[in-house]
Amino acid sequence: MAIVNSLFTWYMKKRVHQIELFMKYPLDVQDEWFHTLISSAEYTEWGKKYDYKSIENVKQFKERVPLQNYDTLKPYIERMLKGEQNILWPSEIKWFAKSSGTTSDRSKFIPVSEESLQECHFKGGKDLLSIYCNNKPDNHLLSGKGLVLGGSHQINQLNEDSFYGDLSAVLIKNLPMWAEYYRTPDISIALMDNYEHKMERMAEATIKENVTNISGVPTWTLVLAKKVLEMTGKKNLLEVWPNLELYFHGAVNFKPYREQFKALIPSDDMYYLETYNASEGFFGIQDQMNSEELLLMLDYGIYYEFLPMEDITEENPMTLALDEVELHKNYAIIISTNGGLWRYMIGDTIQFTSIDPFRIKITGRTKHFINAFGEEVIIDNAEHAISAACCATGAVFLDYTACPIYFEGEKAGGHEWIIEFDRQPDDFEKFVDVLDETLREINSDYDAKRFNDMALSRPKIHNAPAGTFYNWLKSKGKLGGQHKVPRLANERKYVDEILKQMGLSHPCGS
């Protein structure tokens, strides 16, 4: 096994040279992919509609093809679900990644082509290993197995040849045999759709394995970890899996969860590697050991555009290419992909932390913010503030959501939070003060509205009972790794629903 691990590490490090190439020549690589995508789709229905054959440059592409979202592409995707081909992309589409986040009751079905599987999603997975092996050449990753928290898989009933499931399930179903050998638990457990039973079965199946790495969303990884410790009677995960050395995580900001993972895995040698991937594509990887920035992956069959957030409400907003972006400014990501998504707004917002090479941080969602009074609070602000409040009061949080409290008579508005703690603050009022003060420090618009409580009063925070968010997600039929609590909302729907569940029949501000 040691020989296999050494050979694998050598092979994976070869890819690092290719990564260094697109870091050195990012604009050339993106230009090459742009022309490849356009020429590949010339004879699709979409390509004919917008006359891709005559498109010679990005300027023409932007002028001709409007910005898209799921609703505008939905009629095309529904036909593809029924088996029609050569609609958005020329190769056969038979897999669809189902995404139904907590922001909508509708399910989205993102087409996954063979090219996007191989050149984007699987390539991203290999690059995770390549970057890790390069940063830590003395690793023993393949001496054991990787524990993967996957989603659920179903057959699309509209067409016997079409399949859909959570992205993780689609990837698991298409993994090469060698990758399946190094993964645990068995696929029959990994793709269970009842998450309560699934956590139980996963714990039972993996406690006797030699797990060297874990992949999963932090919230569900914590649920599984606690189930494993409950079953084994051990104090931490290293007593169960002594060779555990790496955790791949993504989907939510990891910073607020870091202390919980340190307690579960008490080792200074534990390596945490963040990814930025979604149903629509694989976008970024944390490539440096001592930095939380994500390297924007530029050779995955995706052409990027960036829309300044201040222009997002304009009728025909101008997007920017890589050579036009600025540091520390909020942009919505627009992608064109080898899965047939064209000028598609995925809903995430990012900031560039470096432009040589291009590194980013995720700041939130285009629809996940609070701006009821001009305060423009984004998820990045909220999580910075909640982390500072936890640090100041010894607290550990599990989940949260927040929304506006609207003006009522002579009363100022405000923000209302629901926070569920794994470890309670030693001083709850101090927690509220630090959260508020931190928001004022990092967001000048929020600070201006808080001046003398003129527009915004001190935040109102509810200390939620254990299981509050789990029960809310369960009531929505949204248990699972792809489903997350909406952190911020510019309306009261989620907060009011959860407060009602908590037995608060007259929510503040409703």
> pLDDT-based confidence at 229, cuts 50/70/90?
very high
d(CA 256, CA 254): 6
- Determine contact, residues 317/311, Cβ cutoff 8 Å: yes
pLDDT of 408 reads 66
- Mean pLDDT of the 289-316 span: 92
Report the pLDDT averaged over residues 422-431.
96
Select from 361, 364, 349, 251 the least CA-distant residue to 306: 349
Contact 141, 123 (CB under 8 A): no
Quote the pLDDT of residue 506.
46
pLDDT digits (tens, 9 = 90+) for 172-214: 888 877 777 888 998 888 888 777 788 899 999 999 999 999 9
Over residues 65-87, the pLDDT tens digits come to 999 999 999 999 999 999 999 99
CA 489 to chain centre: 17
Query: What CATH number has the domain spanning 1-366?
Result: 3.40.50.12780
**Residues 319, 306: contact at Cβ < 8 Å?**
yes
Q: Which residues, in sequence order, are bridge partners of residue 198?
A: none
Distance CA 351, CA 308 (A): 10
Neighbouring C-beta atoms of residue 226, cutoff 10 Å: 15
The reported pTM is 0.78
The average confidence (pLDDT) of the chain is 88
The gap from C-alpha 486 to its chain's centroid, in whole angstroms, comes to 12
Q: What are the tokens at 290?
A: 């001592």
Sign of CA dihedral 76, 174, 365, 50: negative
Q: Are 116 and 337 in contact (CB under 8 A)?
A: yes
Six-digit token pair at 433? 């003060």
CA distance 100 to 184: 26
Q: Where are the alpha helices (DSSP H) in 358-504?
A: 379-393, 428-442, 444-450, 468-475, 493-501
Nearest Cα neighbor of 285 from 137, 114, 100, 120 is 120
- What is the tens place of the pLDDT at every residue in 428-478? 999 999 999 999 998 877 987 898 887 789 999 999 999 999 999 888 877
* Phi/psi of residue 313, nearest 5 degrees: -90, -5
Q: Is 63 left (phi over 0), alpha (psi -120 to 50) or beta?
A: alpha
State the Cα–Cα distance between residues 179 and 183, nearest whole angstrom: 7
More confident residue, 479 or 65: 65
Instruction: Report the chain's terminal Cα–Cα distance, integer Å.
Output: 61
State mean pLDDT over 90-97: 94
Q: What is the pLDDT of residue 101?
A: 43
Residue 156: per-residue pLDDT? 63
Question: CA angle 353-358-364, nearest 5°?
Answer: 50
* CA–CA–CA angle 494, 196, 418 (5° rounding): 25
Domain borders along the chain are: 1-366, 369-501
User: In terms of residues, how long is the chain?
Assistant: 510
On whether the CB atoms of residues 128 and 139 are closer than 8 A, the answer is no
Give the residue ranges of DSSP H helices in 136-176.
167-174
Distance of CA 358 to the CA centre of its chain: 19
Position 508 confidence tier, pLDDT thresholds 50, 70, 90: very low
Tokens read off for 21 = 């190439």
Q: What is the DSSP letter of 384?
A: H
Report the range of poorest mean pLDDT among 38-52, 184-198, 321-335, 353-367.
184-198
139, 245 Cβ separation under 8 angstroms: yes
pLDDT at res. 461: 97
Using alpha carbons only, give the angle 87, 75, 108 rounded to the nearest 5 degrees.
Answer: 100
β 95-99/163-165 pair status: parallel
